[in-house]
Amino acid sequence: MKGLEMKNNVAVISRQVTEMTDDEIHNLKKIVFDSGIVVLKAQNATASDFVDFGRRIGELSPYYEEMYHHPNHKELFVSSNVQTDGKVIGVPRTGKFWHADYAFMAKPFAFTITYPQVVSSQERGTYFIDMASAYERLSPEMKRKIEGGVGTHSVRRYFKIRPTDVYRPISEILHEIDAKTPTVTHPLVVNHPVTGAKILYVSRGFTETISLKDDDLDADEVLKDLLVESGQSDDTFTHPDIRQININEGDIFLWDNRRYVHHAKHNDKVEPTKTYRLTAYDGLPFSAEIDFALDSVKEVGLV
Ligand SMILES: [Fe+2]
């Protein structure tokens, strides 16, 4: 693609998304699956242009909680502490824990696309861990232990209290969370339907328990080990497999949400920040058998 260069394994593209041809969009999706994270530099897109771009990437899905929605575009999730006409649009300080977007739902998103509008002067950026590489790095013994295992995922620990929840009993709110977003189960090892890569599917924020085929194993200990080995238990963020990607105002980030867990950085000083986010499906199963993966790749014309 024109204007593409690789920088530290991130695909950096200097091309306005509003000017991309259908061929370029198709190539862009191939690049996302291939390199995992794409940065589209210095965009001039409006909120509505950004939504149009998202629609060309995949099937957009508005966030299930309305308080995050942009007032004119329900597909836009707004993370913001900026006041507009005296009130905050969106929700401040989102995603400051290891997670994949919608891992607590039956079908997590294929793509996450963010577009920072206002960034703080310090402590900005997002941490990422490539969970396909994390799987590859596991010992053969650990791979055997988790084969055929499943994990349960829930939003319970990170559900954000809404303004309308003030003065409600906590038991009522917890009951509502369990009714609206019951715990879901995903395989511990997800087969990527496009690349065929095996992905270790656990996150410190959303994975509650795991079950293993061998009942004699201590599943809680294995989950703890998986979080340590993948880097998600390192609160200093110095684990060699944690990558920090810095955010610049106006850059669009697009990543493979099956493959990465991410963790937002937020400035503890109160500085204005505002980011738009879109989340999209690619029409493929969340996890697939390898044989199916190769077929589906041909079907969507990615090879
Ligand atoms: Fe997120």
User: For the chain, what are the domain ranges?
Assistant: 4-299
Q: How far is the CA of 139 from the centre of ligand 1 (A)?
A: 28
Give Cβ neighbours of residue 213 (< 8 Å, ≥ 6 apart). Answer: 147, 148, 149
Q: How far is the CA of 264 from the centre of ligand 1 (A)?
A: 7
CA distance 152 to 186: 7
> Which pLDDT belongs to residue 303?
43
The β-bridge partners of 182 are none
Q: How far is the CA of 21 from the centre of ligand 1 (A)?
A: 28
CA distance 130 to 167: 41
Q: How far is the CA of 2 from the centre of ligand 1 (A)?
A: 29
> Which pLDDT belongs to residue 276?
93
> Which pLDDT belongs to residue 271?
76
Q: How far is the CA of 234 from the centre of ligand 1 (A)?
A: 18
Query: Which pLDDT tens digit goes with each residue over 71-87?
Result: 899 999 988 877 777 77
Contact in structure between 101 and 278 (CB atoms under 8 Å): no
User: Rounded to two decimals, what is the model's pTM?
Assistant: 0.91
Sites in the chain below the pLDDT cut of 70: 123, 267-270, 290-303
Q: How far is the CA of 95 from the centre of ligand 1 (A)?
A: 5
What phi and psi values does residue 66 have, to the nearest 5 degrees?
-65, -25
Q: How far is the CA of 3 from the centre of ligand 1 (A)?
A: 27
> Which pLDDT belongs to residue 178?
94
Q: DSSP character for 302?
A: -
| Short-list 6, 3, 75, 77, CA closest to 43 | 3
The protein residues having their C-beta less than 5 angstroms from ligand 1 (an ion) are 95, 101
Q: How far is the CA of 93 from the centre of ligand 1 (A)?
A: 11
Rg for the chain (alpha carbons), in Å?
A: 19
CA 20 to chain centre: 24
What is 4-299's CATH superfamily? Clavaminate synthase-like (3.60.130.10)
CA distance 103 to 118: 27
Q: How far is the CA of 141 from the centre of ligand 1 (A)?
A: 31
Greatest extent of the chain over all pairs of C-alpha atoms, in Å = 59
